Chains A and B, each alone.
Chain A
Amino acid sequence: MRLTPIVLALPALLGLAGFGQQTVFRARADIVAIDVAVSDGKKPVLTLTKDDFELRDNGVVQSIADFDREKLPLDVTLTIDLSGSMNQAKIATIERAIGQVGSSLGDRDRCAIVSFTSLVSEQRPMLSPPLSPKLAVKARGGTSIVDALLLSLVTEPRTDRRQLGLMMTDGEDTSSVFDLQTTIETAKYANRQASFVIVRDGDTLMDGRMLTLFRMVSSTTGGLVIELQKGDDLSNAFLAAIESFRTSYILRYKPTTLAAKGWHDVDVRVKKGGYTVRARRGYFGDR
């Protein structure tokens, strides 16, 4: 999935054509790619065809030019809360979950690991598996969830890979400098899907503002919010988020709406079945 309409030059278009798409692309065209996850209850629906979807861009039904699933490799960035509330046992659980993620990735997939306390640190750059689950833990006061999330939203637009940002936290922000409004606004431009795994610790209550932020950013980018209670399996949550992303459909279209510039609302429906559809809510046109 990507955020802004991608201006595809001819070589890139030829590259896309190499995936067997049915549409003949023009040399200069704004192509929008939208990730769409469809589920029936908790079960993903994997048998749909292009004609089963209806996609509206600013209220106007679009012709879906290209459609595929599980063809492009994944770039997964795990953003891990390593603040003081994460003790050794929790860190061991996180490392096990990272190991599981590593095992689930394909040869062409890649994974980066970023951690945060009051600062954000790159633990591992974006590389193919195998990945070492060991985390370098440095004590530092504070938890800057909003700052870490804002930084995680800045990634390059790519047509050859799909990008998932998966943030794990207990949701207690104590030291962020940036505000929710700036972060939510930035999510509209994000080139990746942002999903969240919230680990609640026993009787702790989560900051309601953080939950609102996670829900808004995930719905803007088409991501998920998974809330874990004490005893729930973190590895399963990571794998579920990645699998949901991996098995989602990619719908590509050339917008026919008049105003290319500015925010475009995107609404995707499946014509049959009463399924649950999850897709990003829109994008910024830049031309």
Chain B
Amino acid sequence: MIGEVRRLTFLAVLMATTTASMSLIAQGRGQLVPSMYITRINEVLADYAAGNDRAVDTWLRTRDGQQGVAFLERVFAPPAAFSRPKAAFLLEVAVWMQGVNPRKIAALNLGRRMFLGRPEPLGVNADDDRFEILWHQAALGLLQDNDSPWQQQEYLDGLDMRLEDAARRNVKLETRFPLARAIAAGNICCRPVSRNVYVDEQPSTRPRPTFESAVALYTRAAAEPPLRDEAMIRGAALQLLTERPAPALEWLDRAAGKQDDQLLHYAQSFIRARALDLLGRPDEAVNAYQAAREDAPSAQIPAIGLAAALLRAGRADEGVRVAAQARQLPADAPDVWLQFQKADSRFVKGWLEEIRRMRK
């Protein structure tokens, strides 16, 4: 017993000494100690809330910003009250962080928790509701950009109670959440995972979605009129991914023929082309690849598909010409298919703009 007390005392002294030493070392180097970081975060927040859209960017470009961002939780964790500037600030931080970054995930989780602590339920304040939905959609878009479908699922699970409460009160909300849930499930169940591509890990408590459950989620998303066509097209992509070209064509046929959204129209044509390819119908695949190329003339992928389909269709001369064009496309040409796969990440910038306008 005495030995245990001595051991604990020793550890306590050691920790206190180490902490004190680290603070002194930090001060000696001219770095800020945590309380100063927190003060600085509050200053940047005040600047941002006053209308300076560049405040977060300017702060994060400094060494103090890079170190101080580790202390966001000290400012924004519960019981911090919900406010639009605070939530917008957290989204700015998350958007600023490139690629897969734990600070990005931390900022998104802090924001989500802040909304869950919103005093009003959904359906009471339309402006706040709009702000909240945009924020969550932007957060999901960032997670989709990261190839992290488990985190997307976890994020959506965290919203369930709030959304179910609104549904019980017959509050109608127009969101992209049903589609986001289907996208996450489809990526988890069926996308081949390369060792070189970041994919987050499966939580031990959560079962893995199946192809059937992902299809059911796409069907559910398609029941929402604003999401219908995109759900059908993305559902077709899932069918194709799992080597079911005939159902993929059926799903495509259930979407409107001409999409106003050029990316969706491109995807519709490209998925059709690949399904026809797999069904051994290269003549028809040629037409669909050509339609995809019209939507994305500088994209290499549909040109490759077209060249190969022309070869198989007995039109080798045309195929060779298209192949030559494909090889000479600029190396920095946008990868349109990747944009489609990254789902709502393409909307994040626009949603952030709207959130900035609404933050005051």
Contacts and interface: CB of A to CB of B under 8 A. Distances in A.
Interface of A: 4, 85, 114, 117-122, 138, 140, 143, 147, 150-151, 153-157, 172-175, 177-179, 181-183, 185-186, 189-191, 207, 286
B331 A138 contact: yes
Q: Which residue of B194, B310, B332, B333 has the most chain A CB atoms within 10 A of its CB atom?
A: B194
Contacts of B331: 117, 119, 121, 138, 140
A253 B312 CA distance: 23
Contacts of A177: 301, 337
Q: Name the prevailing secondary structure of the B interface residues.
A: helix
B327 A121 contact: yes
Given A114-B327, A119-B333, A181-B278, A154 B194 contact: no
B320 interface: yes
Nearest to B240: A179
Contacts of A138: 331-332
Q: Name the prevailing secondary structure of the A interface residues.
A: loop
B316 A182 contact: no
A157 B327 CA distance: 18
A173 B307 CA distance: 21
A47 to B, nearest CB: 35
A212 to B, nearest CB: 14
Given A120-B326, A177-B301, A186-B312, A155 B320 contact: yes
Nearest to B327: A122
Contacts of B332: 138, 140
B243 interface: yes
A179 B335 contact: no
Nearest to B192: A209
B122 to A, nearest CB: 39
Contacts of B124: none
B293 interface: no
Nearest to B307: A154
Contact of A119 (B308, B320, B329): B329
Contacts of B328: 122
A154 B335 contact: no
B320 A154 contact: yes
A175 B342 CA distance: 13
B2 interface: no
Given A122-B328, A138-B331, A178 B304 contact: yes
Given A185-B312, A189-B311, A151 B243 contact: no
Contacts of A191: 316
Nearest to B302: A177
A119 B314 CA distance: 26
Contacts of A114: 327
Contacts of B246: none
Q: Which residue of A153, A182, A185, A190 has the most chain B CB atoms within 10 A of its CB atom?
A: A182
B148 interface: no
The 8 A-B pairs at the shortest CB distance, nearest first, are namely A154-B323, A122-B327, A174-B196, A174-B194, A154-B307, A156-B320, A151-B304, A186-B308
A120 B243 contact: no
A83 to B, nearest CB: 9
Given A121-B331, A150-B308, A183-B308, 13 more contacts: A114-B327, A119-B333, A138-B331, A147-B300, A147-B301, A154-B310, A154-B323, A172-B194, A175-B197, A178-B274, A178-B305, A190-B311, A207-B194
Contacts of A178: 274, 301, 304-305, 308
B308 A156 contact: no
Contacts of B319: 154
19 contacts: A117-B331, A118-B335, A119-B329, A119-B335, A120-B327, A121-B327, A138-B331, A151-B308, A151-B323, A153-B311, A154-B310, A154-B311, A154-B316, A172-B196, A175-B338, A177-B337, A178-B305, A189-B312, A286-B314
Contacts of A143: 196
A143 B197 CA distance: 10
Interface in B256-308: 274, 277-278, 280, 300-301, 304-305, 307-308
A122 B305 CA distance: 17
Nearest to B197: A174
Nearest to A85: B196
Contacts of B157: none
A140 B300 CA distance: 14
Contacts of B338: 118, 175
A175 B308 CA distance: 19
Contact of B316 (A150, A156, A183, A207): A156
Contacts of B320: 154-156
Interface in B326-359: 326-329, 331-333, 335, 337-338
Contacts of A190: 311
B170 to A, nearest CB: 43
B317 interface: yes
B169 interface: no
B280 to A, nearest CB: 8
A121 B300 CA distance: 10
Contacts of B310: 154
Contacts of A207: 194
B195 interface: yes
A182 B335 contact: no
B196 A154 contact: no
A85 B197 CA distance: 13
A274 B314 CA distance: 38
Given A174-B196, A181-B278, A119 B300 contact: yes
A156 B314 contact: no
